Chains A and B, each alone.
Chain A
Amino acid sequence: DQQVKQNSPSLSVQEGRISILNCDYTNSMFDYFLWYKKYPAEGPTFLISISSIKDKNEDGRFTVFLNKSAKHLSLHIVPSQPGDSAVYFCAASAGGNEKLTFGTGTRLTIIP
């Protein structure tokens, strides 16, 4: 049972435009959400996170939005750059639990 879902396996975006990656979750106990970025032959690296007490968190070109009622979060990248081409994983944790539950990832390709 996939508790964190990324329904788009891939996404292509023109350089300079906005990239929007989506993530849905089913477990209402999740209260902390993270996005990780992964390049080929490397491990995932932390990108940005958000607590359930917020609905938005911004860090430079990256913004994460959380809609708790819809159990949905999204990552916005503006403007998109070629170096943003990677696989993006959404992850969630519940109540301070050490376990992170990851989605299956979305491969983002930025077209120059």
Chain B
Amino acid sequence: DAGVIQSPRHEVTEMGQEVTLRCKPISGHDYLFWYRQTMMRGLELLIYFNNNVPIDDSGMPEDRFSAKMPNASFSTLKIQPSEPRDSAVYFCASRPRRRSSRDTDTQYFGPGTRLTVL
């Protein structure tokens, strides 16, 4: 299994530009999560999907952020327009459906995209 795939691995852009981050979850996983990592706040959940449907987007910081999951094997996180304070590492994670109420909550993370907004 290739694991969760994210692209690009690094993105440098200028303030005001549109940024699109991409994620391919592990095949067969029902849940997909987008996180942002910063030194001050650690790993913050931005949004998560279940079977391609957004379930909770309360962590999305502003309307400048949007996420889509058009099918089970692809998701995007878009920032438009980007700002310097958006600079962070963005992680995508996926996990399978629980088979019991106490099945592990383990999520499988991709390698992340390091975003720098100048």
Contact = CB atoms under 8 A, between A and B. Distances in A.
A51 B109 contact: no
B102 A46 contact: no
Nearest to B30: A98
A43 interface: yes
Interface residues of B, number: 30
B55 interface: yes
Interface in B90-118: 91, 93, 95, 98, 101-102, 104-112
Interface residues of A, number: 25
Contacts of B101: 96
B106 A43 contact: no
Given A42-B111, A102-B35, 13 more contacts: A36-B109, A41-B111, A43-B109, A43-B110, A46-B107, A46-B108, A98-B33, A98-B50, A98-B55, A98-B56, A99-B56, A100-B105, A102-B45
Interface of B: 4, 31, 33, 35, 39-45, 48, 50, 55-56, 91, 93, 95, 98, 101-102, 104-112
19 contacts: A34-B106, A41-B111, A42-B112, A43-B93, A44-B43, A44-B109, A46-B106, A49-B104, A51-B102, A89-B42, A98-B31, A98-B48, A98-B95, A98-B105, A99-B48, A102-B35, A103-B42, A104-B39, A104-B41
Interface of A: 2, 6, 32, 34, 36, 41-46, 49, 51, 89, 91, 93, 96, 98-105
